[in-house]
Every structure is written in C-alpha cells, then in structure tokens.
Structure 1
C-alpha cells in the first residue's frame, strides 16, 4: 500500500523532447553572424590556398606538352589524357622498391625518435627547478628548428668533410680510428640522417609535449607523492596517460606524411652524392631528378598525388584503429 501511494504521489516523467535542428534563417544569422564573419578570412584562405589548387591534380592524368607562347592552362586543355600512364613511372622503374623502402623506413624511424625523445625532453624540462635554465635550454633546443636546411647541410659538411672535417681531423684520431669517407660510404647514412633530423626538429616536439604536460593538474602528482610513488611511476601512471591524446595527434600527423620525405634533408645534407644513393635516395629526390632530366610535369604531379592519397589513407586507417581501441582518443 505504501509503495502504491508513493507511486501515486510521484508525478509522471515527461518524455525527452527532441531538439529541433537549427534552421538557417534570419534569427540564426543574427545570432551567429559575427562568428561567420570571423571564419570568412580563414575559409577564403583555405579555398584559395588548399582546395582550388587541387584541380591541378588532373595534370597527373595528362601528357602535358608545351608549345611556344602557350600558358600552362592552355597546354593543359590541349594535352591528351593518358589515364594512369604517369603512375607507371613510379611503380615500373627498377628503383621503385628502393625509394619506397627508404622513404617509409626513414619516416618510421623519425616518428619514433621525435615522439620518444620529444616526450623525454619535455618531462626533463618540466622537472627542472631552475626556471631560467629550463627556458634557456628550451630556447637553445628550439633554435635549430628555424634554421634553413642549407645551413644545416653546411654544418654537417663541416663535421663530415673528408679532408678538413671535425670527425676525421679531431674526433676519430682521439679514439685511434681511421678517417672515413662519409660521402662515399652509404652504410653510415641510416645513422647520420635520423641524428640530423632529430637534432633539428626535436625542439618543436618537446615544446608541444611540454605544453600538454603543463596542463596537468599538480594535485595528481601531490597525491602520488603522498602515496609514495617514485618519479618513474608518476611518469608512467600520470604524465603519459594524460598527454596520450596529444601524442596520438602528433603521431597521426606524422603518419600522414610517411610517404613524403624532407627534400632538404635528403638532397642538401647528403649533397646529392651518387655513391650513397642506396641509403639516401627517396621518392621526393628521385622524382626531382627525373623531372630535371625528363622535364615531364605529369610524372611529378602523379608522384605528388600518389603521396597525398596514400598519406590520407594511412591517417584514416590509423585513426580508425585508434577509434576501435579507444574512441575518446581518436582524432575524428
């Protein structure tokens, strides 16, 4: 009886009301018009700089032939369609496996080093008690990121020059080792190139990860310290899990360019030495050399489109896998 009377006194719950979809009327634009105005410059910039040029991807399916006095657009309209013929340039060449292997493996190593070392330096900077020294080290490490790859190539050449380089003249003699012809011996470059790439770009990744670490509430670390957790335990149980979304985003952004190599790194730093092509030639440098020799703009466009499509598919697939594992950590 008591349950029945309580149920009688309880007012019936109303069914959940469905939200009506927002209509694009005068009231909508009156309310959100300021935001559309703020978005307009960025949208126009993206359309002009990112989306309209995508029409040029059609060049990859044409055999562009220039005639005297013609513009590129006129040549594009007059040139015949060749289907996937330009893509055969990448897949049927004898160096296809070599350049693809080098591009993918180098970028895979770069992703691992940038992520692991970037997180390590970010944690170290954040743990430093002296704020002045922490800022000084951050600035010093970030400086190479702004250097042109041409400058970096000359710095590397100052170390690796066969006759006057610091390695052959000072460092190797200290250990009783013989001089090395660095630009003629390909076996050293799988170590040199990741080292140079990490030195140049690690400051950028360290700053990104440090910004994420700074956003963590100090109460987590205070509670862990009271419970007797060591520094390593705090890093593995608090820091890494809480910055995991940032780590995933940074890795996905790098995965999207795994088929794109840093042209300056592989062209300038190696000084385009033919003796070390087996370990330094990648898709970008190979396409550039072939374009210089053949002057075929269609083949170059096909290579760029191939890299963009594969990069998009890799990002989409990697995000799909992350979404299956942890939906909250997915990028989209």
Structure 2
C-alpha cells in the first residue's frame, strides 16, 4: 500500500512539474494574452453581477444588496405598456431585414472586391468600404440630418426642389424611416462583413477556379458552385451570431439617426430606445436591467437553438 501511495505522489508531482513547465514554455503567449483576458473579465464578466438589479427595486441609499427584492415585477412593467409588442415586433423585423440585406450585399461586395487584382486599388476599396464601420453614430446622425434637414437638407434642396416636388419634413413622417434606417445600417455595416467574407474568399485554393475555367464555367457558375459553398462556414457563423442579437437593437441607429424625434416612434421605437426613454423619465434602473437580461437570455437561447439546427444538418459548420 505504501509503495502505491508513493507512486501516486510521485506521479502527482510529475504532473505538477509538467504543467508548470508548459506554463513557463508558453509564458510569452500568456503575457501577450493577459491584457485581453483582463479586458474580457472587466468588460464582460464583472458587469454580470448587475443581474441582481433586474429583480430588485434599487434604492441608492440602501445599496444593491439591501434594496427590496421585487422578483419579476420589473419584467411585468416592461410588458405592461400597450406598445410592448409593437417595440418587440419592430426590433425583430428590423434586425431580420438588416441580417438578410447585409448578408447578401456583403457577399456580393466581397466577390466584387476579390475581382480587383491591382493591389493598391484593392487596398483602397477595402479601406473605403470598411471606413463607415468606424464612424461614431453621433456623427452618422448628423450626416443623415445634413441630407434630410427639412429646410437646407441635400435631399430637399438639391433633389426634391429642382424636380418640382414638394419638400418633405422627414423627421415628422414616420412611414419613410424603415427604408432610411435600412439604408443607413447597410452603409455603415456591410463593409465590415464584406472584408470578413473577402478574407474567406482569398483563402480558397485557386486550383478550383482554374479547373472551372478549363471546364468552361462562367463567372456565375464559379460563384454559385465554388465561392459561396466554400465560404458557407463563415456565412453560417456570422449569421448565427447575428441571430443571437436579433432581440438587441442598435441604439445609436434608432436614437441618433432619428434625432430622437418623438413623431417617428410609431415606426422607429424599439426595445432599447423604449427602455432608455423610460429610464430617463422614471430613473428605474431595475427596468433597464430586466430588459438587458431579457435580451441576453433570448439571444443565448436563439444562438443555441440555431446552432443545434445547423449541427443537425452539418456538424462541421456548427459553432459548438
């Protein structure tokens, strides 16, 4: 028995030394990853303690732990409004439209960028299409306002008036904004996705295309039979991640681009703007927390569900 215990102790010591040896061997990579790990812990995991706020009536004088526990009352208030299902519908339908349009356009744009063989021009076009992604939504809001200003906006002044049409008060006519918001969202985000798809396209072995050319395949046939099938894993990953955020609206888009105009709420009010406005009026932190938790839970369920569906048809293309 004693010899067995000694052997187990020696084996344990050996494993410990092996682990320490591996840690020391990869010390440079670990040090390099530490800032990112710390940022993830601070930015993604530390705020998770705020989940408790969704079930409490926060009293700042008493603090988080001493505040009254109200259970699901904050969630009830979120759905108590007559507009609750309207803003949920807006959030889902806008995100579905953004997902479909941006995915199709990003793939087409990536294929077009791949056709640019001049390296200088290729880099120029890539930089140009991805630039809007880095512009603040505050700036985008004022750019939109420059186009749609009722009196001096580009659209009214240089398009509507010369053609003899009556100027439109864009910030008082909600029926136009589903199209305007879709255009703005596409302009801002499609370039980033296109560059991601372009990276996947560049990684495709050129021998496939050479064989297709020898067989007389047209550009359309090459795109539908080679390019899109081979970048399908990337398309699926980005789509699944986008579906996970289908319950989250782009607050900057719906608040800044519309200049927070109350007259547009019938077509532009979404969960995030509704919660923000309620928070500004009532100062109810519990409401904002419950909405955020609800969005996260729904997003998690959607990601897992869609991933299971993908996994059922193709295990290789599933996220996990």
Q: Give the alignment's TM-score, normalised by structure 2.
A: 0.91
1:213-255 deviation digits (Å, cap 9, x = unpaired): 0000110000000000000000000000100111111111111
Residue in 1 that maps onto 2:21:
30
Residue 51 of structure 1 is matched in structure 2 by 45
Query: SS of 1:77's equivalent?
Result: strand
Give the 3 Å change call, closer, same or farther, for CA 29–264 of structure 1 in structure 2: same
What per-residue deviation string (whole Å, max 9, x for no partner) do you get for residues 158-203 of structure 1? 1111111111111123443321111111110010001001111111
Asked if 1:242 is matched to 2:233, the reply is no
Q: Residues of 1 paired with 2:304 and 2:297: CA distance?
A: 11
TM-fit CA distance, 1:300: 0.7
Query: What's the counterpart of residue 75 of structure 1?
Result: 63
Matches of 1:34 and 1:51, distance apart in 2: 28
Counterparts of 1:139 and 1:50 in 2: how far apart (Å)? Answer: 29
Aligned to 2:170: 182
Query: Quick check: 1:123 aligned with 2:111?
Result: yes
Aligned to 1:62: 56
TM superposition shift of 1:330? 0.3
User: Equivalents in 2 of 1:44, 1:147: separation in Å?
Assistant: 26
Q: In structure 2, what is the equivalent of residue 219 of structure 1?
A: 207
Distance in structure 2 (CA, Å) of the matches to 1:269 and 1:43: 34
Matched residues in 2 for 1:137 and 1:303: separation? Answer: 40
Greater CA radius of gyration, 1 or 2? Answer: 1
Number of paired residues? 304
Deviation at 1:34, TM superposition (A): 3.5
Are residues 1:229 and 2:229 paired?
A: no
Question: How far, CA to CA, are the matches of 2:46 and 2:117 in structure 1?
Answer: 50
Q: Distance in 2 between matches of 1:181 and 1:34?
A: 66
In 2 relative to 1, CA 166–46 (structure 1 residues): closer, same or farther, beyond 3 Å?
closer
For 1:133 and 1:160, the matched residues in 2 are separated by 32
Q: Quote the RMSD (CA, aligned, Å).
A: 1.6
Distance 1:35 1:109 in 2: 45
Equivalent residue in structure 2 for 1:191, among 171, 174, 179: 179
**Which residue of the partner structure matches residue 103 of structure 1?**
91
* Structure 1 portions without partners, runs of 5+: 1-22, 68-73
Q: Distance in 2 between matches of 1:101 and 1:24?
A: 56
Deviation per CA, 1:26-51: give whole Å up to 9, x if none.
22332354347734614444333322
* TM-score normalised by length of structure 1: 0.88
Stretches of structure 2 lacking an aligned partner (at least 5 in a row): 1-13
> After the TM superposition, which residues 2-41 of structure 1 pair with which residues of structure 2 at under 5 Å, given as runs?
24-35=15-26, 38-39=29-30, 41=34
Runs of 4+ in structure 1 displaced over 6 angstroms? none
1:143 matched to 2:134? The reply is no
